[in-house]
Amino acid sequence: MRYRHLVPDRHQKQSDLYCHDFLVHQPWHRPFKFIELANGDIRQFEVSAFCKIVHNGTLTPMLVRQSETPVEYEAVLLVGKLLFESKRVQKYLTLHKAYECLEPNRDLTLSAVRHALAHAESSLTRPKTRNALIKLFGSASIDFNNHRHVRVFYQQFGRLLIKTDKLLFARLMQILPSTFGIPSGFTLLHDWQVER
């Protein structure tokens, strides 16, 4: 499971990541708008994000239209982008953006970590944010040279992964009737794969 590789093995149990069965799979970080038919013909369709969801016991491919479901479209692309990020700070920030798309009442602790990663400690003036960080790390900043801070960071990252997966799956299930699948034998193509 590619999501689990985002958190080192030694930190997975602290966030229950090791036992979470992911429901959204293979999100792609770039949108699609062309499909190649079985006979080789290429057709254009609405700009859409791609992923697969666990539905009726199988992985079901979905195309999430930008025009009809822009929030879910953005969230799928962000989760797909997450899988291509190489820096742990950027991974958390990207994942939190997807979480923000899906959750209006955000978890204070998860958002406090995002604030600590994105802002200077002196600019963290909200008492609730500072208190959440101090409770987690013992300070309002995250020190990646401190093993305890690294452990707590990955614990929160794992929690954020699980929450975002569940939220995205729930939203995708709600919009399932307005999305469209990919018929067998068809291939999705990006712009650069289509001759103009």
Position 164 in a domain: yes
What integer is the mean pLDDT of 83-111?
A: 95
Residue range(s) defining the domain that contains residue 153: 23-193
pLDDT band at 91 (very low <50, low <70, confident <90, very high): very high
Q: Which residues is 43 bridged to in the sheet?
A: 35
Average pLDDT, whole number, for the chain? 89
Q: Provide the domain count of the chain.
A: 1
Position 150 in a domain: yes
pLDDT band at 23 (very low <50, low <70, confident <90, very high): very high
The residue ranking higher by pLDDT, 112 or 39, is 112
Task: Supply the pTM of this predicted model.
Answer: 0.91
Position 8 in a domain: no
Position 113 in a domain: yes
Position 11 in a domain: no
Q: Of 56, 75, 72, give the one whose Cα is nearest residue 64.
A: 72
| pLDDT for 167 beyond 70 | yes
| pLDDT for 196 beyond 90 | no
What integer is the mean pLDDT of 126-133?
A: 94
| pLDDT for 1 beyond 70 | no
